[in-house]
Structure 1
Amino acid sequence: MHSRNIPCLLVCGGQLVVFKPWIGCLLFALTGCAQQDHTQQTIRPVNVVRITSQETNNDRPYPGEVRPRYETVLSFRVAGKVVFRSVEIGDKVKKGQILVRLDPSDYRLAKQNVEAQLIAAKAEREYSRDDLERYRALYAENTVSQPELDRRETLYIGSEQKVAALEAQLGQVGNQLTYTDLEADRDGVVTGLEVETGQVLAAGQPIVKIAQLDEKEIPIDIPEHRIADIGLRQEVSVSLWAGGDRRFKARVREIAAAADPLSRTYRAKVTLLEGQEDARFGMTATVWIPANTPAHLGVPLSAVFTPQNRPGQACVWLIDEYSATVKAIPIQIIATLPEQRLAVSGLTVGQLVVSTGGNRLREGQSVRIPQSVRPSMDGDGAASGEASL
């Protein structure tokens, strides 16, 4: 009974401490639990990635709109009143098809007038020719003088030139009559229409706009600092907003020689090589131009974190493969890569970093490396991580 109350002695900091036996048991139990919890919390399982060097092939996007390469604005070469229109916007037309017609009455009357004048001129020319032949015979008999013969020759030449002038005028009036029909100059689709039946038009007034369907292009604007990434006849790819992730082959056809004075960008035109049926005029498109940058080291986005004591500084957990501990290494982010990766500097090829599971790690903490990586640690150090970039 009394032995249970024997006090226990403990030397702490050079002093002798006396405490009850039950307190010593409690302290020993708590110390053991704390050591056990610390051991369990120290080793954490993580996923790792082996750092490798690679070319960063970025496709830079440039927005644009699908447009026809050849688009013609048609207009009448004569004035008149519209009496017929056969097309609407969006209609496909064939070469030679009549699109709009003017009232031809005035031009038909003008043609008849010139035709009548031409008939009279030809009759006058025939009379002048016969008269000249008679005077030549009389002159040979010394019946008429030389001035009288010259006068008849002059009259004949004048009548002959009058016929030639009226024939030319008749051809001109005939052309004006044919100009009352506006015909399509090529196969295509109507993209603009600025006329209604009954409207009076002036010569040269824009009427119909026709776009050629067999060649489509996408104009884009290139910033000054990116103009070196693009060249004439360069192969690029094009995606449509309505077509999802599908890409079509294209080629750079034209690059402006000077920058736009307002936007300070260079206008480039990209011709589609495929997907003509899918790309309709006016569709939103994106031109993807390859931009080969120097080789960088890539890491997963999940491997990058920012320490609390260094806000704004990106870091990764570097693994010491011999001691299986981690160390925070500062890095610099250079560019964004596909598949949620980052191009960084500050690491070297062959290093092993934590890809996932590092959100609760601390400096110098031991980690459990995946089994697939451990053989490389026991051998000659060859890279065999479960993922690499």
Structure 2
Amino acid sequence: MIPHSRRQLRFPRAPGLRLTMAAMLILTLAACQDEAVAPSEGRPVRVVTVEAGKLSSDIKLSGEIQAEKNVGLAFRIGGRVIERQVNVGDRVAAGQVVARLDPTLERNELTAAKAALQAARGEVNTARNMFERQERLMAQGFTTRPRFDQALKAEETAQAQLENAEAQLELAQDRLGFTELRAGIAGIVTARTIEPGEVVQPGQVVIQLAREDGRDAVFNVPARLLETQVGDSTIRVALADAPTVTALGRIREVSPQADPVTRTFTVKVGLIDPPAAMQLGATVVGTLEVSTAAIITIPASALTQQGQSPAVWIVDPASSTVSLRNVDILRFDPDDVIVSQGLEPGEIIVSGGIQALHPGQRVRPLPVTPDPARSAAARPASRPAIPPS
């Protein structure tokens, strides 16, 4: 006899129930078939195309404005200073007198030279008359050859003394003119080392002039920065207290020897059309953009790990399958990763949806949609952006 509990588990043999169960089985098989077909289309992921760029960084240094050319003024002769007409900061024109020496000695020499010239002219006249007389007597046969030669020699000597006296007069006039120190160019007085009453030597620089036809921005640069190949890079120079006042320049001179105290090298940057506000001695800040060799920047979301090494998923365009490849990282940024080795420009990598991937898996790139967060914030110019593909 069958227990009562087992009699309750028996199913009735009704034809309608069999049809219902068969329909449910068919629907279940269809659903399984749909699930089997879906993966063949590939897992949806976001991808980007690798592009090469350059990593740039700004180097900023503090310096000052100096004249491109400085001229030292000095007297050609020695003497006692009796007048100084300029001070530091004064503008002088070409030919302007800036200082004077006591001209008493030079005036006396000029007077003596004039007197010597007059005497030499008298000697020339006397010698010429004697020679002309001897010449006439020689033609008539009333004089001798020695007397004629003596008169000729006396005339030549007197003529030479006259020429010497004329040269001495010119020299005395020049020396009198040298008692006035004149500026040969227009410029600004940047230094002076004399006062009235002082005695100066010939060639001693007493006034320093800065020419107005050029300005330099001078910086003290550490040796490590000189290793950067700046070439003909343009340097932006701005006033420290007025950053809106700017000018562009190029390096025109680098000191071959380091300063013995600071161990830095002096670099002069020639400014191109500097504004008038960049006066001599003003403090400026120079900015130089230095670029590295070609590098590759990828989104930080594309980075995964293979063992102990960083890696990325590479998409094969022909088969739409992915493979894992190790890469070398140069630098980590908040949103990007700078890759030094392991990727080539033009390759496609997975940037989103890397968690469930496995080698050889088919993927399907998702349509490109703009990222509001990345669009709102401008990316730094020092990091090249890689547009998504």
Per-residue deviation, 1:341: 8.3
Per-residue deviation, 1:238: 1.2
222-231 or 95-104, which deviates more: 222-231
Matches of 2:285 and 2:351, distance apart in 1: 38
5 Å-filtered alignment, 1:279-298, equals 279-293=278-292, 294-297=294-297
Report the AA paired with residue 193 of structure 1: R
Give unmatched runs, 5+ long, in structure 2. 1-47, 302-309, 311-326, 344-348, 356-363, 375-384
Matches of 1:109 and 1:163, distance apart in 2: 20
Per-residue deviation, 1:122: 0.4
CA shift in 2, pair 1:143/1:379, >3 Å: closer
Task: State yes or no: 1:120 paired with 2:106.
Answer: no
3-state secondary structure, aligned to 1:191 = strand
Report the AA paired with residue 98 of structure 1: V
Per-residue deviation, 1:75: 0.7
CA shift in 2, pair 1:156/1:224, >3 Å: farther
Per-residue deviation, 1:283: 2.1
3-state secondary structure, aligned to 1:196 = coil
Matches of 1:90 and 1:196, distance apart in 2: 16
Per-residue deviation, 1:295: 3.2
Matches of 2:350 and 2:369, distance apart in 1: 7
Give the structure 1 partner of residue 81 of structure 2: 82
Aligned length: 289
Matches of 2:98 and 2:332, distance apart in 1: 55
CA shift in 2, pair 1:116/1:95, >3 Å: same
Matches of 2:65 and 2:49, distance apart in 1: 42
CA shift in 2, pair 1:343/1:284, >3 Å: farther
Per-residue deviation, 1:227: 3.7
3-state secondary structure, aligned to 1:66 = strand
Judge conservation of contact 2:259–2:265 (CA < 8 Å) in 1: no
Judge conservation of contact 1:241–1:284 (CA < 8 Å) in 2: yes
Give the structure 2 partner of residue 351 of structure 1: 351
Matches of 1:177 and 1:335, distance apart in 2: 76
User: For 1:191-241, what per-residue CA distance to the aligned partner results, in whole angstroms no more than 9, with x for missing partners?
Assistant: 00111112222211211001012210123436356445222x442211221
Give unmatched runs, 5+ long, in structure 1. 1-49, 304-314, 316-329, 354-363, 365-377
Give the structure 2 partner of residue 155 of structure 1: 154
3-state secondary structure, aligned to 1:65 = strand
5 Å-filtered alignment, 1:294-305, equals 294-297=294-297
3-state secondary structure, aligned to 2:373 = coil
CA shift in 2, pair 1:352/1:202, >3 Å: farther
Report the AA paired with residue 199 of structure 1: E
Report the AA paired with residue 297 of structure 1: T
Per-residue deviation, 1:251: 2.0
Give the structure 2 partner of residue 43 of structure 1: none
5 Å-filtered alignment, 1:157-236, equals 157-220=156-219, 221=221, 223=223, 226-231=226-231, 233-236=232-235
Give the structure 2 partner of residue 384 of structure 1: 370
Judge conservation of contact 2:245–2:275 (CA < 8 Å) in 1: no
Matches of 2:332 and 2:248, distance apart in 1: 26
Give the structure 2 partner of residue 146 of structure 1: 145
Matches of 1:386 and 1:80, distance apart in 2: 80
Give the structure 1 partner of residue 331 of structure 2: 334
Matches of 1:381 and 1:199, distance apart in 2: 87
Judge conservation of contact 2:299–2:351 (CA < 8 Å) in 1: no
Per-residue deviation, 1:252: 2.4
The TM-score with structure 1 as length reference comes to: 0.64
Matches of 1:51 and 1:218, distance apart in 2: 43
Over aligned residues, Cα RMSD in angstroms?
3.8
3-state secondary structure, aligned to 2:181 = strand
3-state secondary structure, aligned to 1:217 = strand
Per-residue deviation, 1:350: 6.5
Report the AA paired with residue 271 of structure 1: G
CA shift in 2, pair 1:63/1:139, >3 Å: same
Per-residue deviation, 1:79: 1.3
CA shift in 2, pair 1:92/1:230, >3 Å: same
Matches of 2:298 and 2:246, distance apart in 1: 26
CA shift in 2, pair 1:173/1:289, >3 Å: same
Task: State yes or no: 1:97 paired with 2:83.
Answer: no
Report the AA paired with residue 382 of structure 1: V
Give the structure 1 partner of residue 272 of structure 2: 273
Give the structure 2 partner of residue 308 of structure 1: none
Report the AA paired with residue 86 of structure 2: V
Q: What is the identity percentage for the equivalent residue pairs of Structure 1 and Structure 2?
A: 23
Report the AA paired with residue 280 of structure 1: Q
CA shift in 2, pair 1:342/1:206, >3 Å: farther
3-state secondary structure, aligned to 2:212 = coil
Judge conservation of contact 1:64–1:286 (CA < 8 Å) in 2: yes
User: For 1:278-337, what per-residue CA distance to the aligned partner results, in whole angstroms no more than 9, with x for missing partners?
Assistant: 21222222332221223353889xx9xxxxxxxxxxx9xxxxxxxxxxxxxx9966399x
Give the structure 2 partner of residue 134 of structure 1: 133
CA shift in 2, pair 1:298/1:250, >3 Å: farther
Matches of 1:260 and 1:197, distance apart in 2: 38
The TM-score with structure 2 as length reference comes to: 0.64
Matches of 1:381 and 1:350, distance apart in 2: 13
Matches of 2:253 and 2:129, distance apart in 1: 68
CA shift in 2, pair 1:350/1:290, >3 Å: farther
